[in-house]
Amino acid sequence: MLTFDLLLYTVMSLAITDQPRQKTNLSPNDSVFSEIVESFDVQNSTMEEALRVLRQHDFANILIGFEKIAHREGERSESLSLSTKRATVGEILDQLCQHSKQYRYEIIEGGIIYIHPAHAESDPLGLLNIRISDFAVQGKMVPAAIIVRIGELAPELNNYLDRKKNEYYSRRGISPASPGAIGHGNMDPNVNLHLRNMTVREILNATVVYSVRLRDETPADWTGNKPPTTSWMYEFVVNPNAPTGLGGTPRWVAF
């Protein structure tokens, strides 16, 4: 079983300006910023769609943390088009953010590309800033599942979400539905992830870093496959009538 104790993990942002930029003292993971993408093309896309296309060029090493602007279900607030040949990952990110004007990005510790709104809210309730005193996950689970289930696995976040949901149902005199059981696949890797005194956002980033270490240290199976690296996205879908009691629905997505 792979053990990864990130008690001292701290996410430190490196400031990024709106102009083309260079980075020095890059770690091996940070070097993806200078990686050449032979061809990149998106037309009439959202930032999420563009980032998914970018990650497909090097799924193992292009690692992303993305906070979407809070929005209503099905709402599209932008239309991005970009076509380049032999551009670096950094140059593509520069152009995407310049065309969008809604987002900016930073490269944070571990080589994670962190994209967040330039002006609008992505997390109106501050759920990503909730501090988790002790976060532990053990057993068979892919890192992507940790991201998707962070609202269940992070104790203080889970307690807050449950309290708001119970208040919503209590005001209406009904009982909330019980969540269904979530199974694990037999082929999922064994994980042992233990983090302390970190925000939800920092845990998401640490999980991405953990997925890289898990891939590097886990032997390939008989087909030659290893556990894939993961990235994360957070979105808050505004809906005053949502049964979460939050005025909307928070979603944590792995991609």
Band of pLDDT at residue 169, cut at 50, 70 and 90: confident
Average pLDDT over residues 48-56: 96
What the block records as the tokens of 59 is 């799924």
How do beta strands 190-199 and 4-5 pair?
Answer: parallel
Q: In angstroms, how far is CA 2 from the centroid of its own chain?
A: 22
- Cα separations in angstroms, 56 against 44, 50, 51: 18, 10, 9
pLDDT greater at residue 2 or residue 137: 137
Distance CA 134, CA 198 (A): 8
How do beta strands 80-88 and 190-199 pair?
Answer: unpaired
Mean of the per-residue pLDDT values for the chain? 84
* 129: nearest Cα among 65, 202, 64: 202
For residue 86, the model assigns a pLDDT of 95
Average pLDDT over residues 79-108: 94
Average pLDDT over residues 103-108: 93
What the block records as the tokens of 52 is 């998914």
Kindly tell me if the per-residue pLDDT of 13 is higher than 60. Answer: no
Kindly tell me if the per-residue pLDDT of 70 is higher than 80. Answer: yes
How do beta strands 190-199 and 131-140 pair?
Answer: antiparallel
- Cα separations in angstroms, 84 against 46, 88, 89, 246: 17, 10, 11, 41
Distance CA 51, CA 92 (A): 10
Distance CA 184, CA 66 (A): 26
pLDDT greater at residue 202 or residue 178: 202
* Phi and psi angles of residue 234, each rounded to the nearest 5 degrees, phi first: -120, 135
For residue 85, the model assigns a pLDDT of 96
- Identify the DSSP state of 123: -
Band of pLDDT at residue 38, cut at 50, 70 and 90: very high
Per-residue pLDDT tens over the stretch 197-251: 999 999 999 999 999 999 998 888 888 888 889 999 999 999 999 999 999 999 9
CATH code for the part of the protein at 4-220+229-254: 3.55.50.60
